[in-house]
Structure 1
């Protein structure tokens, strides 16, 4: 799976998505044999438009359990914790119960095969599930992966604890003040300021309005493609 790639087109009627933490809600789930999971390993999932929220839900954690299907759900209804890492695009040429699982307004998880097998039989094509938002249990600090070029600076923020959902990011070079960054897609944030040759600090705010500042995370000689680790919530 990719890490929170923004779709080319989305349905604005699906926004905003607001889910009270701890409340179980109904959805469906399938799995994909692609198990890379980007920076979050194999316990990951793509979200339908209704859940994706223009990419802001990327990095958020969900607890899922298979329910109400004697044949496909594993005994005892075990749960699994997933990180949202991708967008599951709609397919309006197929019905919502046969191939068009991610069509609006369906709430659907396209899970990694490893995660799916912990709650349901692999032979199942689609299963009913219940889900709820949970805090993310992360090891290590926030990770900042730098991409772009001298005219287009971008950073991917991953491994975010607490609710895992980043609301705002600011960057500061040694020669600048704090610069608000714009969401490019998912948890990729951009600005058009040339920060080459400056050590970089980051300020990250999550959707529950908590802010964390990591000073001088990247040294002055940072290069595009490198990942640096900051503090953790």
Structure 2
């Protein structure tokens, strides 16, 4: 009798172990991802620009963080396509990625802003000027109308002397910002031909526009033509033109630039006959 009871108990334990083990395994497999990931993705995808929250003196409220090395460039151009130019004059690492309200789908590339902070002991309260050269995911921090994800260099520029590292270690800063004209003293507009350009497809990066700094429209005129053909924003600060006719484009090209405020500038014959992909051609003009 005792043996039969023991056998029954052993059988019951074996059945119970089979029932419990799969449940434990399945819970591990269904373990959710950290909750912080999902809100960030949804906020970025659904983010729409909202009106800026105005601060005193015509300034607007925003948030700021930094990325990259503490005294670095942040990134190599990022979503605007400026590449290593962000660390060179005239950008000189004083750059920032901007949230959707600032980046504007790439139309905000090149715009200049003054930024300053007073909300942390290391803040100097003095403005520094940054250029939008990349896109920052929008809506990362609740309640922000705009966000600047700055290079370590530009964030440190808002600090009191000797306190740049403390300011960079402060996390998400509350800052104030305002749009200002870009000033590239002694530097004319540059046109860098994309490596994928060919006689039937023209793609160019445009940078260092004084004044507004960013562009709403670009037009191209071929040699011997009296017609301006609209170019299409490819991505960031790159603009393209496809012939679709099977006929090669006739250089030299003139380019007509329309800034954010509607100011027009023409760079006549700025792209010469015999142009080559990967080469940068500088204009003789700028907005100022």
Check whether TM > 0.5. yes
1: CA distance, partners of 2:45 / 2:237: 17
Where does 1:140-151 land on structure 2 (aligned, <5 Å)? Answer: 140-147=187-194, 148-150=196-198, 151=200
Partner deviation per Cα, 1:12-40 (whole Å, 9 max, x = no partner): 732798x9xx8200001111125155433
Aligned to 1:220: 273
For the Cα contact (< 8 Å) 1:11–1:49, is it kept in 2?
no
Alignment CA distance shift 1:10-1:190 (3 Å): farther
Matched, 1:185 2:214: no
Matched, 1:155 2:214: no
Larger-Rg structure: 2
**Which of 31, 34, 45 lines up with 2:66 in the alignment?**
31
Q: CA deviation at 1:60?
A: 0.3
SS of residue matched to 2:262: coil
Count of residue pairs the alignment pairs up: 210
1: CA distance, partners of 2:51 / 2:178: 17
SS of residue matched to 2:169: coil
SS of residue matched to 1:14: coil
Q: CA deviation at 1:51?
A: 2.1
Q: Name whichever of 78-87 and 45-54 sits farther off.
A: 45-54
Aligned to 1:79: 127
SS of residue matched to 2:258: strand
Aligned to 1:167: 216
**Structure 2 residues not aligned, in runs of 5+:** 1-43, 78-82, 86-90, 160-166
Higher helix share: 2
Q: CA deviation at 1:172?
A: 1.4
For the Cα contact (< 8 Å) 2:108–2:132, is it kept in 1?
yes
**Structure 1 residues not aligned, in runs of 5+:** 1-8, 91-95
For the Cα contact (< 8 Å) 1:26–1:130, is it kept in 2?
yes
Partner deviation per Cα, 1:162-206 (whole Å, 9 max, x = no partner): 111211101112144321111122221111026555111110011
For the Cα contact (< 8 Å) 1:196–1:220, is it kept in 2?
no
What CA RMSD, in Å, does the superposition of the two structures yield over aligned residues? 2.5
SS of residue matched to 1:13: coil
Q: CA deviation at 1:53?
A: 1.4
For the Cα contact (< 8 Å) 1:15–1:53, is it kept in 2?
no
Alignment CA distance shift 1:227-1:15 (3 Å): farther
Q: What is the TM-score of this pair, normalised by structure 1?
A: 0.80
Where does 1:103-114 land on structure 2 (aligned, <5 Å)? Answer: 106-114=145-153
Aligned to 2:286: 232
